[in-house]
A = this chain, B = another copy of it.
Amino acid sequence: MTEPMSDRAPSFDLRSRASFQHWVTHTLRYNDQDPIGHVNNSVFSTFLEQGRTAFLHPIVKSAAHPGLDIVLARVVIDFLKELHFPGHVEIGSRIVRLGTKSFVVANGVFDGASETCAATGEATLVFFDTNARRAVLPPPSVRAEFERLLGG
């Protein structure tokens, strides 16, 4: 997605818990680990998905506007610290940019209840009509909620 988006200034420090608007907790699994003995990088994609799904599905997927969904266009993940089983992660989410048909949600993945940020990420998503199979403008009520989150 190359459309221009609003941008908040100053930018958030995604390594700080204080930056996030929504939190979800997920348990680590034995087979999240790879032969290096740490949680494999692909699981971080899943952590981001867990964070944004819990944050945004209640807003986007509603009986009030059936057929609306959000699809992933781009993901960026910065790996800062290894994660080790057993344990859990706490995943913070915040809306950081908003376009007409797309937006960016930022995430921080924290090691348990600690201040240790294991990874930060940004996912660009597109509002999508599952019937027409194309990007769409979100309904006004959804747009308003995203604007509120962007400013929050």
Contact = CB atoms under 8 A, between A and B. Distances in A.
Given A53-B86, A73-B79, 6 more contacts: A26-B27, A31-B46, A33-B35, A71-B79, A75-B77, A76-B76
Interface stretch (A36-44, A96-104, A107-115, A138-146): A36-44
26 contacts: A26-B27, A26-B29, A27-B27, A29-B46, A29-B49, A30-B46, A30-B53, A31-B49, A33-B34, A33-B35, A34-B35, A35-B35, A35-B37, A40-B49, A41-B45, A41-B49, A42-B45, A45-B45, A53-B86, A54-B86, A73-B78, A73-B79, A74-B77, A74-B78, A75-B79, A76-B76
Contacts of A29: 26, 46, 49-50
Interface string A1-38: 00000000000000000000000011101110111110
A72 interface: yes
Contact of A75 (B31, B49, B76): B76
Contacts of A26: 27, 29
Contacts of A31: 34, 40, 42, 46, 49
A43 B41 contact: no
Nearest to A45: B42
Interface residues of A, number: 33
Nearest to A76: B76
Interface string A84-99: 0010000000000000
